[in-house]
Structure 1
Amino acid sequence: MYCRFEDRLAGQALELVGFCRRIEARTPQELAGALAAVEAAWRAGHWVALMLDFELGEWLLPEVLDGAAGGPCGNTGEPGRSAIGRAAQRCSETGAGLQAHGCGCAGEAADAARAHAPAEPVPAAATDGDGKAAPARQRPRLRALVFDGAVKGQPWPTPADAGSRILDLKPRTAHDEYLKQVEVIRAGIGRGEFYQVNYTQPMDLRVQGDPRELYARIAAANPIAHAAYIEDGTQTILSFSPELFVARQGATLTARPMKGTAPRDADPQRDEALGRELHASAKNRAENLMIVDLLRNDLGRLAEPGSVKVDELFTLERYPSVWTMTSTIRAQAPHATLGDILTALFPCGSVTGAPKIAAMRHIRRAENAPRGLYCGSIGWLAPDGDFSLNVAIRTLVLDADGNGIYGAGGGIVHDSDAESEWQECLWKARILAS
């Protein structure tokens, strides 16, 4: 097991050391115990690496599957007080649950989780989001690796080229089908079914050479704040995400949704013009503001009254391959547990669309495979309760044979152009050629 997190904008790295154990949730019935075990681990002085599949949201927001009334609050109106959240919090408060499947409140947790079980399984023939067939509901949607400690250091240096590279990158969705689905979404917006849907596709590929070298080379060429390299015993994960999902420092929660992207250009004047066009774009500002409002509402479920603030709106950020537009939202939530926070916020609204439930329902119908870790979250939890979780975009997942998957997509609104959205998928994959 190996876990490394890098903030290359700050020149900092965090390597977790002294692997202890693994925690997983493979079914809704296991989720409460797994969340309690994660909470208990950091309270006991451990560091935790957390990996959350996008489809974990179907357990936290069961309305996506069964159309039941009420939201992540379980119809109580209280922030983060779903049945799963209550069971997980009780376990963590009593210190139970250090083993993923040995939670002292397992009976209540299982009963709560059964109420959140999907009404219909993912078809057994579907891929598992990392390119391989998997039986319905058996892929872990929450994975946590528990470590004794962490060592702070510098990001890996740029390696000498020893031959690691990406081969045979191929979108899994045909061009015409992608355009068709964009038009289906636009029609749904016209009917008032949703305002925005984040539509994505997987890209299959092979990796030749050492994944660590590949990660170090791509990360050095594309410095961002929320990178991660993880070998978890079953997969190797290379995440080059520039987007923060949520971080906690003391009582403060910070979210930085990224919505609005444009390609960079080799010509300096043209490049600056592309950045200005993005920042001034009414379409992209509308997309960004829609997600800001969604996240403000999500944070309001668990924040102290009046504490949710938009600190920055439409900040233009420059990365080697893209321009992006990011906003910053902060809130005070001193009593929120990890389970509360995930129940209120996950998945990040920037990778679902709005309204979240309606957008996720359409994503499940329209996309040709589960997303898996892509558009989920990867991050670390510290023994003092602080944590940082990214949005797992720009993320490459490899199996032991070097076969991999990389996802790309974007937010579709009523005035989106289908061909432009297809091209956006392609240039979001440019990072892999670094």
Structure 2
Amino acid sequence: MRHIAIVGSGPAGYYTAEAALRQWGEAARVDIFDRLPVPFGLIRTGVAPDHQSIKGVVRRYEATALTDNVRFVGNVMLGRDLSVAELQELYDAVILATGAPADRKLALPGEDLANVFGSASFVGWYNGHPQFTELAPRLEHETAVIVGNGNVALDVARILAKSEEEFAGSDIVGHALAGLRASRVRRIVILGRRGPLQVAMTPKELGELARLSRAHPVVDPADLPDAQADAALDTGLRKAVGLLRSFAAQADPRPDDVTIDFDFFAAPRAILGDGRVEAVEVERTRLEDGKAVGTGETYRIPAGLVIACIGYQTSPIPDVPYDVEGGRFANDEGRIRPGLYCVGWARRGPTGTIGTNRPDGFAIIEKVATDVPGDSGKPGRAGFDRLAAERGLQVVRFTDWQKIDEAEVANARHGSPREKFVDVEQMIEATGRA
């Protein structure tokens, strides 16, 4: 018998559990821990609420979760309820699949002003993550600035630009929908240090902007190189640049449109304001050997909201070596130390798609199989259950999650698949337990 503890119930966690079942079958016992009472991590609180088709991947995770060999252990937090060392005493292998839930910092003057957010917190706010329920961004200024040229920047811009009717079918939470309903934002500026040919945006996400009822994407034709340059690009980037060219060629916006201005060759240098953001100071850049360098020319964008979409990093865990520069756990192809591993974004940083975590999970289980060739005699889940009882931990099982899920679906507003609970105590109450 192999006793495996996986910390984190997002895609990396469930793909790793699936790999363990493939590797050992009935000889595997897998416990998947999560600090929240609800599973699925990034799928629940990171994927945009209007991308419901992507969230359908949880059906695959449910198939793994409902096997007798895999158990969800929710509402248990490493560092609060038990330590990594204690888990290692109980399980043959402990695999950290905690993702990269923390924002990378801009490292700019004024970053701590009010109404300046990282994308993890802002996305968590409109996706109902309990940690960000009280964020309450103020949306009464007409201009918002988004820093970054990836798909998360597009997600944030799209959510800010949508009409209320366009949220039909999404699971955006009620408090965010109310805030967006009252929003006065009419100009969204997306800052990118480099040019259109260097964006990390995909055609699907860019194309969604063109289909919004009141959004008007704006690209300065002068930022676009000669169209012949597109021939050297890969297919996805060539399509994305083609969409940017179409934005540059379209007619002027209508009076009631929300403009989404792509400000290329623009690097933020400071966030200005007295207690709260009032403007962003930006420096013009140029490309040298593919890198953005400042030209010395600066200008200011008046703005009442700034959202940094420049990447994520793994949250440190006590007694686990950490790679500060990489923003992930220090590891050698997933091995941290004997019996302790990491997988997914916690291993490689926030790169790749949801599906990229599947081969990553299978690869780490192969390493565990090499390192743990036989039964070590550790107690596994029986040992954890004794510890949980001694400490009075209020553990949430997958059957409890199914009751939470049922209640969220029942509470859904018209046209929405669910209304998420955004408070941990409410989630636990929905299980029917005290």
Question: Shorter-chain TM-score: what band?
Answer: under 0.3
Q: From the two aligned structures, give the one with the greater strand fraction.
A: 1
Q: Looking at CA atoms only, which structure, 1 or 2, has the larger radius of gyration?
A: 2
Length-normalised TM-score, structure 1: 0.24
Length-normalised TM-score, structure 2: 0.24
Q: From the two aligned structures, give the one with the greater helix fraction.
A: 2
